[in-house]
Structure 1
Amino acid sequence: MSLGPGTPLPLVPVDRSGVRHGSRSYLTCAFRCGNACDHPEPNRSGNPHIADEIARAVGRRSVLRGAAVGGGALVLGVGGSGSLAAAATSPSRNGRGHGHGRGDSLANADFEPVAPNTRDDVVVPRGYESDVVMRWGDPVVAGAPRFDPYRQSVAAAEKQFGFNCDYVGVLPLPGRSAVLVVNHEYTSPTAMFPAGVYEDAERIAIEMANHGMSVVTLEEHRGSWRAERGRRAWRNRRIHDRTEFRLDGPAAGDPRLRTSADRTGRRVLGTFNNCAGGTTPWGTVLSGEENFNQYFGSSGDLDARYADEYARYGISGGTARGWQDVDERFDLTAEPHEPHRFGWVVEVDPYDPSSTPVKHTMLGRFKHEGANVTLSRDGRAVAYMGDDERGDYLYRFVSQERFAGGRGRKARRHNQQLLSKGTLYVARLTGDGTDDDEYDGTGRWIPLCSDRRSFVEGMSVADVLIFTRLAADKVTPTRMDRPEDVEPNPVNGRVYAALTNNSQRGSTFPPDEANPITSSQVRANPAAPLTTASGNRNGYVLELAPRRGDHTDDRFTWELFLVCGDPEAPETHFGGVDKDRVSPISCPDNVAFDSTGNLWVSTDGNALGGNDGVFRVPVDGPDRGRVECFLTVPKGAEACGPLITDRDRNLWVAVQHPGEVDGSSFDSPASTWPHTDDFPRPSVVVNHRR
């Protein structure tokens, strides 16, 4: 489905054979990111690419001698003697590490890995079950009507659980209660609306209200969880397109953030395309605004002052969403500054429904996958972030102030200001260039600006923060293959980055001896033979180790922990473990950790013919790199927001866009999951032992 400027998004099924990127349909590509991969890569800086550094690093290993350049023949040996590889044989910091065993703990449980499949269900190992906690349209705040797809309205959507859930956060409450925080990334009109029922303007307005976030109070019930109702749910709220946000940090109030509706440049309505996120040590939730560019259209010429800036962010005015026809602030001709008010990390206090959410300008503006915070040894907040675009960068923020302990209001107010002052950095990764028989390298965090000073020549602090991509281009960081979730492991102190894929490696980006990984082994379905496809189709997981374990240090080392794909494919690598012991995995997207430090990876766009899923991967010990599939999601769906809670007994997953298969529609669905209706409903599930 190729949607040109001004072409309305369809409600009738679009019959296109095949898939686009792995298991992603044409519909998903259009609705989620506006067909970003069909457009030129916004980063035209010519800065070095991660594939170059990976190639230099792996090329040093003797096992690779004689590997074919450009043929996808990246064959990694087992083990390694470098600092990160050596850590694989040492116990984790708490002395527990990964091990198989019985009981309720998912960290140590023995389970039979779920085999690749195309079932229209959430599939978990024998002895476990999956419970639906919240579905699209379920009531969130008081007065929400019963969901009826034929009687949707803006007023109803503002009180109901939004569409296409993504990030999942679960924060504790007294007793056996918790508060659930969920992103609603994007809308899929073909799946949401029956044909012939809604006028275009009404439909668009309902879609806008289905974006944002939901905060829902939960109670434990018979070993699982369910939504609270009535007076005990007073914390519940729906954050939507008309929710007011406060801009804070050094760029707040800048003239380029001012509009006709907001002369101060400090108040913004709504948050859109919220993808991943993280829970802070002080009990708030961060959420990343990702593919915001697709919501802005134009009624005429664009402001020539921002031609370079618009281009770098993929803003063309040629949207198929039609939002500018419903709300003039999304018309670039009328409001050229409005897009500058999106692409931030937002912070929400789930414990206070009357609080005003914040957009943090100090964390920079780009297509944020999310943000995850750890505390440094000296108590400063360190946030890791990825810019989810082909060829864009990894970022880090280090706060100026230190975390305040205690549970009082004064400490809470102080901690909620930690992301307002500090220093923003971008990453440069380098192969170490020595003949040390290691497939690793070194890296450096390059400062872009503090809250008071710019370190980029010719750019002010506000310039750097509002147009962070352009600032980063000037300091030669490393371009990455779609850096998505970037999270610090609370047990071993290392940082793990999901690099989902780059299907254009070898076409748009030609092969040479520094870029040998230009083809990948894929499958048309789980039973089909492996075939060769161009580009990096299955993705990587990168492991970074801060120097001396200090997250504020500007130096780090890195290692290619997983080269994803089918274990039968020669280019794959799984931390050094025997490939006979691993599950196939393709297109890592989000990561999480259990209390022993195991990595949990969710996928998006499986290029191996099966449904996406969630995988457990030990990062230390003799099983380091042993990928085991714990769960797969229904047909056409993506696995989002993995989270381990309740002493490792619960795995939370957001099942996004079930049934989003080419040719499907509300009236002719490809899925009916969660099988409570005759149409699919994106939902949050919790998985646990029976």
Structure 2
Amino acid sequence: MPQSAPRRRSLPLIEPVGGGRSRQTCRFRCGDACFHQAPNTSDNTYFGDVATAALSRRNVLRAGAVGAGATAAAGLGGMAPALAAPGNGRGRGNPRLKFEGIEPGTGDAVEVPNGYKQRVVVRWGDPVLPGAPEFDFTAQTAEAQAKQFGYNCDYVGFQSLDRDRGLLWVNHEYTNENLMFAGYTDGNDADPEQISIAMAAHGGSIVEIRREDEGRGRGRGRSTGGWRLSQGRRRFNRRITASTPMELTGPAAGDELLRTEADPDGTRVLGMLNNCAGGMTPWGTILTCEENFHQYFVGGEEAPEDAKPAMARYGIPTEGDTRSGNRRFDRVEERFDLSRHPNEANRFGYVVEIDPYDPDSTPKKRTMLGRFKHEGANHRTTRDGRIAVYLGDDERFDYIYKFVSKGRYRKGSRRGNSGLLDSGTLYVAKFRGDSPEKEIDGSGELPSDGAFDGWGEWIPLCSDSESFVEGFSVAEVLVHTRLAADKAGATKMDRPEDIEASPATGKIYCALTNNSAREPGQADEPNPRGPNRYGHILEITERHGDAAATRFRWDVPIVCGNPEDEGTYFAGYDKSKVTAISSPDNLTFDRQGNLWISTDGMAWGNDGLFAVPMEGKHKGHLKMFARVPNGAECCGPLITEDQKTVFIAPQHPGDGGSYDDPQSTWPDHNGFPRPSVVSIWHSRGKDIGS
């Protein structure tokens, strides 16, 4: 007689702030954004205001999808889009994850499933450039840090050089000075050298890495071990900091909104700030995203009155004492004082394109992709060969965007593709549900039709030559993108973070991390819980599978949380076999189309990396693959093209502690924590997940 599946044991709740994030993380990463009013105070309608018009549309639209759309649909411009299966994916049948999942828990180490190994690849302070000294925790200098691997790792990109060598790009999102320096309180009292060290620890690193031979895997003639920093000459290695010269490109470059005393042409800017997620282009460059840039500026209360509304919309303080508790970069570089240089903040909040193969190239801030708190910049190719880039704005009640290039991608032509991201059309998403308002009550329980789903449209904001938002020029749309999207009527979402396309189906997936500020009455079908403490995953299927489409179908396949709670959903899979998860953040896919999710704020122990099939009979069977050390967030993740390695980046280990009272000593266990990148591989050379 077959045994029934064991029932999961109850999980203890650990919920300090925002799911499982500590208050210290909130302070240093985003300037306590969630403890202030959400910047989006627009009167854009919630789903409940338009639900009645959408009733009964489900059957009409389904008929249209089968019969090529005989009936008009209210609320979609009178058009009922007929959706076919996505055309960009490669169907893989019935994917299944064969590793034995690990349990949520705690511990000051990286934990992986049986049969897997893990190794630190590079850690904060490791030498990157020639002349960099070995890291000395007690004697840091800005000069040394500018040549060493930076602080808190986030997005990880990888480009192969040959079978066992590659280039690793890593974002350095922000610094946690409380863990970096003894006796640190805030930027007002900090030694200016400490501020300069922090500025040098921002940005990103490119390092050459090598996979070590630990035996051959399954006759494929390649090493199966983990990765380490390459030794000897490493001509591609590079450090980018908060002071690296960069170029502003695209339609907004040179506009009055971007001009400063130091840069009267409005085309040159120093550095990038708070780079979180990112992406890789098909021509081999890195797209790295500036996120919570608002917290680095002071003096907003003394800025020109006509500039304050836009500053406030981006979370920049414009009232009271804006200097207390801040990092105080202005004490080292005056440009961070908005009372003197009010346009400086307009020069941050972009997607930055970097060429990893040319260490002397100038990074480019691509204004055509809009300015907001960027999360993710991942692409699909349209049916006619153009590039579509999907973008999230990580703020409570902010939006999801898409850019579609004007020009076509030219395979093998790096120079021919160099300007693709400077011309095209920028869109923002509007979602519409098809369930009665009374059935979306904020609990997360499914409506009577058995799914949170509906239709949506990409609303054009501007092209490189024309604004589609009344009262906004092209440059104003691209610099004040949030304000333009407000006016366009975009749908308020629950902190859109990373957005990725499945290589198997072409469907688009977005991590909605959480939103405790959403009231029950503000719940809508694409954001079905209020408050939304644990987040959810959104799936978008574009019309005819074409990335250039302006109509799409959407649904919510995963509503995160404890599977024992009624207000959770895992694509219909048996929840007694599913692992608890909260605060989904970064995403990636393997070749089979399994979705891999890293978390930022687990409510049941340490953060980790999870995986879940999104097609077939195992769809929704979510498992935990890796768990990161105490206080750390699981960033990355990235699965290499050969599927032999997954990289993760445990960020801010020891969060909640201090230099004098460390809560983690990972990875070296010599008294203090160091944010690092880790490679994980199967001990027998099998594909990740198998």
* Partner residue, 1:537: 533
Asked whether the 8 Å contact 1:281–1:374 carries over to 2, the reply is no
Asked whether the 8 Å contact 1:50–1:479 carries over to 2, the reply is no
Q: C-alpha separation between the residues in 2 aligned to 1:221 and 1:56?
A: 60
TM-superposed deviation, 1:58: 12
* Partner residue, 1:342: 348
Secondary structure in 1 matching 2:312: helix
Q: C-alpha separation between the residues in 2 aligned to 1:161 and 1:381?
A: 32
* Partner residue, 2:643: 648
* Partner residue, 1:675: 668
TM-superposed deviation, 1:51: 8.7
Residues 1:56 and 1:439: Cα distance change in structure 2 (over 3 Å) = farther
- Report the TM-score when normalising by structure 1: 0.85
Letter of the structure 2 residue corresponding to residue 498 of structure 1: A
Q: C-alpha separation between the residues in 2 aligned to 1:660 and 1:60?
A: 48
Q: C-alpha separation between the residues in 1 aligned to 2:404 and 2:676?
A: 35
Q: C-alpha separation between the residues in 2 aligned to 1:274 and 1:380?
A: 26
Q: C-alpha separation between the residues in 2 aligned to 1:551 and 1:289?
A: 24
Q: C-alpha separation between the residues in 2 aligned to 1:551 and 1:513?
A: 25
Residues 1:58 and 1:463: Cα distance change in structure 2 (over 3 Å) = same
Q: C-alpha separation between the residues in 1 aligned to 2:184 and 2:327?
A: 18
Asked whether the 8 Å contact 2:452–2:525 carries over to 1, the reply is no
The one of 486, 493, 503 equivalent to 1:480 is 493
Which moves more between the two structures, 330-339 or 170-179? 170-179
The one of 674, 678, 681 equivalent to 1:688 is 681
> Does the alignment pair 1:220 with 2:208?
no
Residues 1:283 and 1:331: Cα distance change in structure 2 (over 3 Å) = same
Q: C-alpha separation between the residues in 2 aligned to 1:515 and 1:96?
A: 28
Letter of the structure 2 residue corresponding to residue 203 of structure 1: Q
1:373-522 alignment runs, 5 A limit: 373-406=379-412, 411-432=413-434, 438-506=451-519, 510=521
Which moves more between the two structures, 19-28 or 183-192? 19-28
- Report the TM-score when normalising by structure 2: 0.85
Residues 1:212 and 1:52: Cα distance change in structure 2 (over 3 Å) = farther
Letter of the structure 1 residue corresponding to residue 427 of structure 2: Y
> Does the alignment pair 1:589 with 2:560?
no
Q: C-alpha separation between the residues in 1 aligned to 2:51 and 2:34?
A: 22
The one of 99, 107, 110 equivalent to 1:111 is 99
1:132-171 alignment runs, 5 A limit: 132-171=120-159
1:596-635 alignment runs, 5 A limit: 596-607=592-603, 609-635=604-630
TM-superposed deviation, 1:94: 3.8
Asked whether the 8 Å contact 1:498–1:542 carries over to 2, the reply is yes
Letter of the structure 2 residue corresponding to residue 129 of structure 1: K
- The Cα offsets for residues 539-593 of structure 1, whole Å up to 9 and x where unpaired, read as 0100000000001010000001100011101000001111122111111001100
TM-superposed deviation, 1:159: 0.4
Q: C-alpha separation between the residues in 1 aligned to 2:346 and 2:46?
A: 27
Which moves more between the two structures, 551-560 or 296-305? 296-305
Percent same amino acid among aligned pairs? 52
Asked whether the 8 Å contact 2:281–2:287 carries over to 1, the reply is yes
Asked whether the 8 Å contact 1:215–1:237 carries over to 2, the reply is yes
Secondary structure in 1 matching 2:557: strand
Letter of the structure 2 residue corresponding to residue 649 of structure 1: K
* Partner residue, 1:210: 201
* Partner residue, 2:216: none
The one of 354, 357, 360 equivalent to 2:360 is 354
* Partner residue, 1:564: 560
Q: C-alpha separation between the residues in 2 aligned to 1:413 and 1:21?
A: 44
Letter of the structure 1 residue corresponding to residue 670 of structure 2: D
TM-superposed deviation, 1:199: 5.0
- The Cα offsets for residues 229-258 of structure 1, whole Å up to 9 and x where unpaired, read as 221x11000001221111000000111111
TM-superposed deviation, 1:371: 0.8
The one of 363, 366, 371 equivalent to 2:372 is 366
Residues 1:46 and 1:169: Cα distance change in structure 2 (over 3 Å) = same
Q: C-alpha separation between the residues in 2 aligned to 1:350 and 1:442?
A: 39
Which moves more between the two structures, 197-206 or 336-345? 197-206
Q: C-alpha separation between the residues in 2 aligned to 1:566 and 1:53?
A: 31
> Does the alignment pair 1:180 with 2:175?
no
The one of 12, 18, 21 equivalent to 2:18 is 21
The one of 34, 38, 44 equivalent to 2:35 is 38
Residues 1:685 and 1:418: Cα distance change in structure 2 (over 3 Å) = same
Residues 1:299 and 1:277: Cα distance change in structure 2 (over 3 Å) = closer
TM-superposed deviation, 1:99: 4.0
Q: C-alpha separation between the residues in 1 aligned to 2:617 and 2:23?
A: 41
Asked whether the 8 Å contact 1:55–1:517 carries over to 2, the reply is no
Asked whether the 8 Å contact 2:95–2:593 carries over to 1, the reply is no
Secondary structure in 2 matching 1:429: strand
- The Cα offsets for residues 366-412 of structure 1, whole Å up to 9 and x where unpaired, read as 11012111211111010000000000000000000000022xxxx21
Asked whether the 8 Å contact 1:363–1:424 carries over to 2, the reply is yes
Asked whether the 8 Å contact 1:302–1:333 carries over to 2, the reply is yes
- The Cα offsets for residues 27-62 of structure 1, whole Å up to 9 and x where unpaired, read as 10000000001111111112134798899999999x
The one of 110, 122, 144 equivalent to 1:122 is 110
Residues 1:290 and 1:91: Cα distance change in structure 2 (over 3 Å) = closer
- The Cα offsets for residues 454-503 of structure 1, whole Å up to 9 and x where unpaired, read as 00011110110010001111111101000000111122010000000011
Q: C-alpha separation between the residues in 2 aligned to 1:55 and 1:517?
A: 16
> Does the alignment pair 1:552 with 2:548?
yes
TM-superposed deviation, 1:195: 2.9
Name the count of aligned residue pairs: 619
Residues 1:50 and 1:28: Cα distance change in structure 2 (over 3 Å) = farther
Q: C-alpha separation between the residues in 2 aligned to 1:181 and 1:488?
A: 20
Q: C-alpha separation between the residues in 2 aligned to 1:260 and 1:513?
A: 46
Q: C-alpha separation between the residues in 2 aligned to 1:672 and 1:59?
A: 57
- The Cα offsets for residues 296-316 of structure 1, whole Å up to 9 and x where unpaired, read as 012971211201111111111
Letter of the structure 2 residue corresponding to residue 160 of structure 1: Q
Asked whether the 8 Å contact 2:399–2:496 carries over to 1, the reply is yes
CA RMSD of aligned residues (A): 2.8
TM-superposed deviation, 1:668: 1.3
1:185-204 alignment runs, 5 A limit: 185-195=173-183, 200-204=191-195
Q: C-alpha separation between the residues in 1 aligned to 2:472 and 2:244?
A: 32
Q: C-alpha separation between the residues in 2 aligned to 1:59 and 1:631?
A: 43
* Partner residue, 2:297: 296
Residues 1:279 and 1:84: Cα distance change in structure 2 (over 3 Å) = farther
Which moves more between the two structures, 317-326 or 340-349? 317-326
TM-superposed deviation, 1:323: 1.2
Secondary structure in 1 matching 2:414: helix
Residues 1:272 and 1:679: Cα distance change in structure 2 (over 3 Å) = same
Secondary structure in 1 matching 2:335: helix
Residues 1:176 and 1:332: Cα distance change in structure 2 (over 3 Å) = same
In structure 2, list runs of 5 or more residues that go unmatched. Answer: 1-13, 59-80, 214-224, 437-447, 684-690
Residues 1:263 and 1:183: Cα distance change in structure 2 (over 3 Å) = same
Asked whether the 8 Å contact 1:163–1:186 carries over to 2, the reply is yes
TM-superposed deviation, 1:259: 1.0
TM-superposed deviation, 1:514: 8.0
> Does the alignment pair 1:660 with 2:655?
yes
Letter of the structure 1 residue corresponding to residue 37 of structure 2: P
Asked whether the 8 Å contact 2:392–2:400 carries over to 1, the reply is yes
